[in-house]
């Protein structure tokens, strides 16, 4: 692993962490390769690695890295950027990746809410299915408000504890 030279860290220990944390992400529902790429970026000192560095560290093909990064970019957990003076891309994980991921989920929740409202209208609010959809809708509306309030508390807490952003 190119980045670890000079940091005094054991590359095997880093690899064990990456695989262990990736396994936890997979257990939570993330696909295996994006989980491994994300964990590798998170464990890097700079938070930035190229496709070649990720492939070497994880012992996977450039195509596997590319597919993983495409997914992670879509869910806003990593960003792509050009390496200065090169056509090579590098991938960055940000300190606020969890905030971004949860914020992105709010959009998904709103779409689900809209679909549920439509379902209640189609099935009838007084039917057993309509009541179930109404309760599910109420749950998502509750979660959306709670996430919004929690994110505001997080921004305040983060500022107090860590100062400005990345």
pLDDT band at 99 (very low <50, low <70, confident <90, very high): confident
The helix-helix angle for 51-58 and 62-74 (nearest 10°) equals 110
Instruction: For residues 99 and 146, give the distance between their C-alpha atoms in angstroms, rounded to a whole number.
Output: 14
pLDDT tens-digit map of 133-165: 999 999 999 998 898 888 889 889 989 998 865
Closest-CA residue to 104 (of 73, 65, 66): 73
pLDDT tens-digit map of 40-79: 999 999 999 999 999 999 999 999 999 999 999 988 889 9
- Are the C-beta atoms of 109 and 137 separated by less than 8 Å? no
Tokens of 94: 């940000």
Residue 49's pLDDT is 95
| Rounded average pLDDT over 27-31 | 94
On average, the pLDDT of the chain sits at 88
| Rounded average pLDDT over 13-26 | 96
Residue 165's pLDDT is 56
pLDDT tens-digit map of 126-138: 999 999 999 999 9
Instruction: For residues 131 and 120, give the distance between their C-alpha atoms in angstroms, rounded to a whole number.
Output: 8
């Amino acid at each position: 692993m190119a980045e670890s030279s000079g940091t005094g860290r054991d590359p095997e220990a880093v690899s064990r962490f990456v695989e262990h944390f990736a396994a936890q992400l997979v257990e939570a529902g993330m696909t295996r390769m994006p989980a491994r790429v994300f964990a590798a970026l998170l464990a890097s000192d700079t938070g930035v690695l190229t496709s070649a560095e990720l492939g070497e560290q994880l012992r996977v093909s450039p195509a596997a890295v590319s597919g993983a990064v495409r997914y992670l970019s879509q869910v806003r957990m990593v960003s792509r950027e050009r390496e200065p003076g090169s056509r090579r891309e590098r991938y960055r994980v940000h300190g606020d990746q969890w905030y971004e991921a949860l914020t992105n989920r709010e959009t998904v929740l709103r779409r689900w809410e809209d679909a549920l409202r439509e379902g209640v209208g189609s099935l009838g609010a007084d039917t057993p299915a309509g009541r179930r959809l109404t309760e599910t809708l109420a749950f998502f509306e509750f979660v959306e408000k709670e996430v919004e309030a929690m994110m505001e508390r997080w921004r305040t807490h983060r500022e107090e504890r860590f100062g400005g952003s990345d």
